[in-house]
């Protein structure tokens, strides 16, 4: 016994379904364009990136605060500063010593576990930036960002 069912296909129904699909796609596209355009024009999600010249502070090797075993961090650090005038000022030996000292004192209190994740390194970079901006007078310039160009914990 071979039963075959044949559904009646109405050409008008096919046209109605196709029009509904095309209409819903058009409405979705229109709404998406409006949302994207309004975010860009209102400034949401669009932040201008303030950037400045980069100053290299060289390599650091610092013992960490781990009590169970001797651990140390070796890293290279660069600072993004507000202007070339800031680099000229902070490159002087008296400022270089102060900047390096502040970085050493900040990192020395950390444990290896604090520096084992990206979040830990980002937190350290923010802490270093904050501490450096505390010792650098505003008329000398500002530290905008701290970059680790190399980082190893052993």
pLDDT tens for 86-135 read: 999 999 999 999 999 999 999 999 999 999 999 999 999 999 999 999 99
**Total structural domains within the chain:** 2
In tens, the pLDDT along 44-67 reads 555 556 688 999 999 999 999 999
Same domain? For 58 and 131 the reply is yes
Q: What is the pTM of this model?
A: 0.67
**Residue 141 in domain:** yes
Which domain, by its residues, includes 30? 10-47
Same domain? For 43 and 59 the reply is no
- Say how many C-beta atoms besides its own lie within 10 A of residue 49's C-beta: 5
**Residue 102 in domain:** yes
């Amino acid at each position: 016994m071979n039963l075959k069912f044949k559904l009646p296909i109405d050409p008008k129904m096919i046209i109605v379904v196709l029009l509904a699909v095309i209409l819903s796609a058009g409405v979705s596209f229109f709404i998406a364009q409006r949302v994207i355009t309004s975010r860009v024009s209102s400034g949401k999600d669009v932040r201008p990136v303030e950037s400045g010249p980069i100053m290299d502070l060289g390599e650091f090797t610092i013992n960490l605060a781990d009590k169970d075993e001797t651990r140390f961090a070796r890293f290279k650090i660069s600072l993004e500063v507000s202007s070339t005038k800031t680099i000229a000022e902070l490159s002087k030996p008296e400022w270089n010593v102060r900047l390096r000292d502040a970085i050493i004192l900040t990192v020395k209190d950390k444990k290896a576990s604090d520096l084992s994740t990206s979040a830990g390194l980002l937190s350290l970079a923010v802490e270093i930036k904050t501490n450096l901006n505390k010792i650098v007078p505003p008329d000398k310039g500002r530290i905008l960002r701290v970059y680790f160009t190399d980082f190893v914990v052993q």
